[in-house]
């Protein structure tokens, strides 16, 4: 019997091993060394299955902000495929989760993370000049919205991006429907983007700021040795207004933004009943095991309770390289060369040189 719990303890320790390259890659990325972060992650197919989706998501985003949009696309498409393949209940996963903790299961992504895979795929395809492929991802994003409408409703950035994808493919009725949904979610009628007029073009800016709040554990201890550990997101940070200057002149273009932490938190809370039910089942199972052991040896029962207490751990895995805020800005400009300066708070401004063609849209992605 003691051997069984020692095995559990080994599994518990080993469950953290796969996170080492993920954590190092995240540290490298936020330290300004994305190339090293990409190298650290290597081939995600070699990552243990339970953390493979995290690897695909982190690597895909890192490659995006390295400007490697094609490679980022390929990686995020693998993430999307992985979710589709894993979208069933694994008996092995469930039994392990009941006896040990949720971190031993295959990570399948929060509802918000599933949506944002398609969000970044849309952005990548637009940056590559592939609006038809961006529309395919927009329609897949709509399926996620339809499946989880309440927790994802406040992701205004993705909704506006979907509308843009319909505009690009000359589907104004579909775009209008998305703008109506966006206005409903925003709680007010908002200004819509102006159509491109003669002699003008448009630059679409995808502006990322900060980093998404961390997912942390909240623990409750009940007698005699029951530990309840559930995940939650920390509070979101506030961000200054995005300021955009074109040729040293301040502009007030069409802007839509999403508080990523707020959407992620609502997404996690939406499935609270699910993980609390599993917590209750696990706590009950562990208490039964401890009492059965106590009937044979009280000292071994104490050891078992300590091991089972330590094994309880909230699943705080998440897509950590995501920004804390995503802003979509659409700037209509005369055809020709322009200097654009984007600033936010105390961060160093980002300067872009763009060449606008009449009747065309161009795209740029920046991160503070």
Q: What's the pLDDT tens digit per position in 135-151?
A: 999 999 999 999 999 99
pLDDT of res. 143: 98
pLDDT of res. 190: 74
Q: Which residues contact 261 (CB under 8 A, 6 or more apart)?
A: 212, 213, 233, 234, 235, 236, 237, 324
Choice between 307 and 169, residue whose per-residue pLDDT is larger: 169
Residue 363's CB: how many other CB atoms inside 10 A? 20
**Overall number of domains in the chain:** 1
| Lowest pLDDT segment from 21-35, 74-88, 115-129, 248-262 | 74-88
Residue 4 has pLDDT above 90, yes or no: no
pLDDT 10s digits, 152-196: 999 999 999 999 999 999 999 999 999 999 999 998 877 789 889
pLDDT band at 350 (very low <50, low <70, confident <90, very high): very high
Nearest CA-CA partner of 205 in 32, 121, 113, 326: 326
Over residues 244-267, the mean pLDDT reads 97
Is residue 108 in some structural domain?
Answer: yes
Choice between 192 and 82, residue whose per-residue pLDDT is larger: 82
Is residue 34 in some structural domain?
Answer: no
Q: In this prediction, what percent of the chain has a pLDDT beyond 90?
A: 71
Over residues 251-268, the mean pLDDT reads 97
> Residues 133-137: contacts with CB within 8 Å, 24+ apart?
134/165, 134/168, 135/165, 135/166, 135/168, 135/169, 137/165
Across the chain, what does the average pLDDT equal? 89
Q: Is the dihedral of CA 129, 133, 139, 143 positive or negative?
A: negative
Is residue 222 in some structural domain?
Answer: yes
CA 210 to CA 1: how far, in whole Å? 49
Is residue 158 in some structural domain?
Answer: yes
Domain ranges, residue 120: 89-367
In terms of Cβ atoms closer than 10 Å to its own Cβ (0-12, 13-18, 19+), residue 335 is middle
In terms of Cβ atoms closer than 10 Å to its own Cβ (0-12, 13-18, 19+), residue 173 is exposed
Over residues 243-272, the mean pLDDT reads 96
Scored b (16 or more CB within 10 A) or e, 115-133 reads bbbbbbbbbbbbbeebbeb
Over residues 257-271, the mean pLDDT reads 96
CB 311 within 8 A of CB 8: yes
CB 327 within 8 A of CB 350: no
Scored b (16 or more CB within 10 A) or e, 197-219 reads eeebbbbbbbbbbbbbbebeeee
pLDDT band at 18 (very low <50, low <70, confident <90, very high): low
Q: Which residues contact 23 (CB under 8 A, 6 or more apart)?
A: none
Q: In this prediction, what percent of the chain has a pLDDT beyond 70?
A: 91
Kindly state the DSSP code that residue 46 receives in the 8-state scheme. G
pLDDT of res. 211: 97
Q: Which residues contact 167 (CB under 8 A, 6 or more apart)?
A: 175, 193
Element holding 349 (H helix, E strand): none
Q: Which residues contact 284 (CB under 8 A, 6 or more apart)?
A: none
CB 118 within 8 A of CB 144: yes
Is residue 155 in some structural domain?
Answer: yes
Q: Is the dihedral of CA 319, 321, 326, 331 positive or negative?
A: negative
pLDDT band at 3 (very low <50, low <70, confident <90, very high): very low
Is residue 239 in some structural domain?
Answer: yes
Residue 13 has pLDDT above 70, yes or no: no
pLDDT of res. 225: 79
CB 206 within 8 A of CB 123: yes
Is residue 336 in some structural domain?
Answer: yes
pLDDT of res. 99: 57
Over residues 281-301, the mean pLDDT reads 77
Is residue 76 in some structural domain?
Answer: no
CB 35 within 8 A of CB 67: no
Going from the C-alpha of 329 to that of each of 247, 299, 332, the distances in angstroms are: 17, 65, 10
- Sheet containing strand 350-356, edge to edge, reads 249-251, 242-246, 336-344, 350-356
Residue 11 has pLDDT above 60, yes or no: no
Tokens at residue 99, please? Answer: 């006896």
CA 17 to CA 107: how far, in whole Å? 15
In a 3-state reduction of DSSP, which class is residue 207? strand
CA 122 to CA 300: how far, in whole Å? 56
Residue 5 has pLDDT above 50, yes or no: no
Could you tell me whether strands 200-209 and 361-367 are parallel, antiparallel, or unpaired per DSSP bridges?
Answer: parallel
Over residues 15-38, the mean pLDDT reads 89
């Amino acid at each position: 019997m003691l051997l069984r719990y020692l095995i559990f303890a080994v599994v518990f320790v080993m469950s953290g091993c796969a996170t080492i390259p993920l954590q190092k890659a995240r540290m490298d990325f936020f330290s300004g060394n994305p190339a090293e972060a990409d190298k650290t992650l290597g081939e995600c197919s070699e990552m243990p299955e339970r953390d493979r989706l995290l690897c695909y998501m982190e690597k895909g985003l890192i490659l995006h902000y390295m400007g490697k949009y094609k490679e980022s696309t390929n990686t995020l498409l693998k993430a999307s495929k992985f979710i589709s393949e894993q979208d069933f209940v694994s008996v092995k996963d469930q039994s392990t989760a009941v006896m040990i903790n949720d971190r031993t299961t295959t990570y399948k992504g929060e509802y918000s993370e599933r949506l944002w895979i398609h969000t970044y795929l849309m952005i990548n395809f637009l940056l590559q000049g592939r609006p038809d492929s961006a529309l395919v991802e927009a329609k897949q994003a709509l399926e996620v919205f339809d499946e989880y409408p309440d927790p994802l409703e406040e992701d205004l950035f993705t909704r506006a991006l979907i509308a843009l994808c319909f505009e690009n493919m000359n589907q104004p009725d579909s775009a209008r429907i998305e703008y109506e949904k966006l206005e409903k979610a925003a709680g007010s009628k908002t200004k819509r983007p102006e159509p491109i007029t003669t002699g003008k073009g448009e630059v679409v800016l995808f502006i990322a700021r900060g980093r998404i709040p961390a997912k942390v554990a909240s623990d409750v201890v009940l007698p005699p040795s029951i530990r309840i550990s559930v995940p939650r997101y920390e509070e979101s940070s506030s961000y200054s207004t995005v300021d955009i200057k074109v040729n040293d002149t301040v502009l007030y273009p069409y802007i839509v933004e999403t508080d990523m932490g707020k959407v992620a938190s609502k997404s996690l809370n939406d499935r609270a009943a699910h993980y609390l039910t599993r917590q209750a089942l696990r706590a009950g199972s562990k208490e039964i095991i401890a009492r059965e052991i106590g009937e044979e040896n009280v000292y071994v029962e104490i050891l078992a309770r300590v091991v089972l207490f330590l094994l309880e751990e909230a699943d705080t895995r998440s897509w950590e390289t995501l920004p804390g805020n995503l802003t979509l800005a659409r700037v209509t400009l005369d055809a020709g060369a322009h200097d654009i300066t984007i600033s936010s708070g105390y961060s160093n401004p980002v300067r872009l040189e763009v060449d606008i063609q009449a009747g065309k849209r161009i795209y740029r992605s920046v991160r503070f």
